[in-house]
Amino acid sequence: MPLPTTEQLPQTGAIDMLAPHVAAQAILDGQMAALEAVGPALPALAHAAETMAAAIRAGNSLIYVAAGSSGLMALADGCELPGTFGIPAAMIQIHMAGGVPTDANMPGDTEDDTQAAEQATRNVKPGDAVIVLSASGSTPYAVAAAKSAKARGGAVIAIANNPAAPLLNLAALPICLQTPPETIAGSTRLGAGTAQKAALNMLSSMMGIRLGHVYQGQMVNVVADNAKLVKRAVGIVTNITGVSEGTAKTALRDTAGNTKQAILVASGCSAQKAQDLLAAHDGQLGRCLQSITSNKDAIV
CA neighbor of 291 nearest in space, from 300, 299, 86: 299
* Encoded amino acid at 13, one letter: G
Beta carbons within 10 angstroms of residue 264's beta carbon: 29
Using CA of residue 100, residue 101, residue 102, residue 107, what is the dihedral sign? positive
Angle subtended at Cα 299 by Cα 297 and Cα 300, rounded to the nearest 5 degrees: 125
What are the beta bridge partners of residue 295? none
**What are the φ/ψ torsions at residue 181 (nearest 5 degrees)?**
-55, 145
245 classed as catalytic: no
Q: Dihedral angle at the C-alpha atoms of 49, 188, 163, 63, nearest 10 degrees?
A: -30
* Distance of alpha carbon 74 from alpha carbon 71, whole angstroms: 5
Cβ-contact 215, 285 below 8 angstroms:
yes
* Encoded amino acid at 50, one letter: E
CA neighbor of 273 nearest in space, from 286, 291, 249: 291
* Distance of alpha carbon 192 from alpha carbon 8, whole angstroms: 13
* Distance of alpha carbon 156 from alpha carbon 127, whole angstroms: 10
Catalytically annotated residue among 7, 50, 80, 118? 80
Q: Is 35 exposed, middle or buried (0-12, 13-18, 19+ CB in 10 A)?
A: middle
* Distance of alpha carbon 53 from alpha carbon 209, whole angstroms: 9
Residues that are catalytic: 80, 111
